Amino acid sequence: MQIPVGISACVLGERVRFDGGHKLNRFIVDELSKYFTFKPVCPEMGIGMQVPRPVIRLLQLPSDEIRLVESKQQDVDYTDKMVAFAHQKASQFDDLCGYVVCAKSPTCGMERVKLHIPNNNTVPGGSVGIYTRELMSKMPWLPVEEDGRLNDPVLRENFVFRIFALHDLYHSVRDQLSAKSIVKFHSRYKLVLMAHSPSAYKALGSMVAHISEWDLDEFYLEYRLQFMEAIKERASRKNKTNVLMHLQGYFKRSLTKEQKKELSDLIMSYKEGHQPILVPLALIKHYLREYPDPYLQLQTFIDPYPEDLKLRYGL
C-alpha cells in the first residue's frame, strides 16, 4: 500500500522555481517513491504566481509581523493569499502521513529561512516559510522535514519512521476506532516509545490505562498528538541500548551461557559505537525465530519499516 506524503513540487523535480529550475532529490525519487505516493504542491503557483517570477522574501516589520513580499518591490505583498492557500490545502490533507518541504524557501522552508528587515539586513536565526508555518500550525502531529536535512542519516531515519508510524496509526486505529484497537497499537509501540522518550512511554502508558475515562474521539486526537511528538525525539544510543537489553531478557531461559555472552557483547559493542544497531538486532531476530515470543514478534521496534530502505545502516 502506497503512503500519501506531501512534497514541495520542486523537490520532486517539477520546474516551478522562480527561475524555472527544480531541486530534484534522488533519495526521494529513487527510494521513497517505492513506498510513498507524493502529492506535489508549489505554493507560489498555487496563489497564481507564474514561472519565471519575481524573487520573494520574508520581511519583518517594525511591529515584528512577518510578511511575504517581492524582494525588489516590498510593497507587493503575498502574505494573505499564501496563508489562505495554506489553510485551504491543510483542510484537504486528512490522509497525509508526512511532508517534505524545500529548504531556505520563504514559503516552504522549515527553519532558518532568511528573514529581512526593511533596510535589507537579516535577522539572526531566520524564520519559517509562510506556507510551512501554517501547515505545521494546523497539523502539529504531521512529520515535516526539509529536503536537505534528509542527507543526515539520523534525521532521515527518524522522519521516514514517523511517516510509517502515522500511516500505521491511521490504518489500524483511526479507520477502526475502538479502545481495543488503541490498546493493540500502543502495545506494539512500547519499545519504540522506550527508545525515543522514556517519559512519554510512561505518560502514554498511563493514558491508555485510563482510556475508559475518555471520550474515544477525544482520546484518539490527544493520543495521536502526544505519540507523534514522542517519536519525533531522536532515539539515543543509550535508550536503544536499554531496549536491546530488554529484548535480551526475553531469551534468558532459552540461550546457553555462551549465546548470552555473545549477544551481550554485541549490545555493548553497539553502545560504544563500534557496531550499527543492525548487528545485535540481527542476532535477536535469529533467536526470535528459534524461540518465538508473541509479544516480541509484534514489536515495531524490531522491524519499523521495509529493510531495503537501509535506514539503520548508519545508526
Under DSSP, the state recorded for 113 is B
- Residues forming a β-bridge with 39: 6
What is the C-alpha separation between 147 and 114, in angstroms, rounded?
17
> pLDDT by residue (tens digit) across 157-194?
999 999 999 999 999 999 999 999 999 999 999 999 99
Looking at the structure, tell me whether residues 199 and 63 fall in a common domain: no
Looking at the structure, tell me whether residues 134 and 263 fall in a common domain: no
Looking at the structure, tell me whether residues 18 and 146 fall in a common domain: yes
Looking at the structure, tell me whether residues 168 and 145 fall in a common domain: no
Q: Residues 138, 225, 96, 173: is their CA dihedral positive or negative? A: negative
Q: How many CA atoms lie within 13 A of 142 on its CB side?
A: 25
Looking at the structure, tell me whether residues 23 and 172 fall in a common domain: no
pLDDT at 199: 97
Looking at the structure, tell me whether residues 88 and 174 fall in a common domain: no
Percent of the chain with pLDDT over 90: 98
Task: Read off the pLDDT band of 16 (50, 70, 90).
Answer: very high
> pLDDT by residue (tens digit) across 259-271?
999 999 999 999 9
Question: Side chain identity at 110, as an amino acid letter?
Answer: M
Looking at the structure, tell me whether residues 109 and 142 fall in a common domain: yes
> pLDDT by residue (tens digit) across 252-306?
999 999 999 999 999 999 999 999 999 999 999 999 999 999 999 999 999 999 9
What is the C-alpha separation between 260 and 254, in angstroms, rounded?
9
> pLDDT by residue (tens digit) across 94-141?
999 999 999 999 999 999 999 999 999 999 999 999 999 999 999 999
Residue at which a domain ends, from 102, 133, 151: 151
- Mean pLDDT of the residues in the chain: 96
C-alpha cell at 174: 483511526
Looking at the structure, tell me whether residues 19 and 143 fall in a common domain: yes
Number of domains in the chain: 2
Question: Side chain identity at 253, as an amino acid letter?
Answer: R
Contact 283, 277 (CB under 8 A): no
Q: Could you tell me the residue range of the domain that residue 182 belongs to?
A: 152-315
Contact 13, 22 (CB under 8 A): yes
pLDDT at 268: 97
- Name which of 88, 98, 4, 8 is nearest 45 in CA terms: 8
Can you state the angle between helices 278-290 and 257-271, rounded to 10 degrees? 150
Burial environment of residue 292 by CB neighbours within 10 A (0 to 12, 13 to 18, 19 or more):
exposed
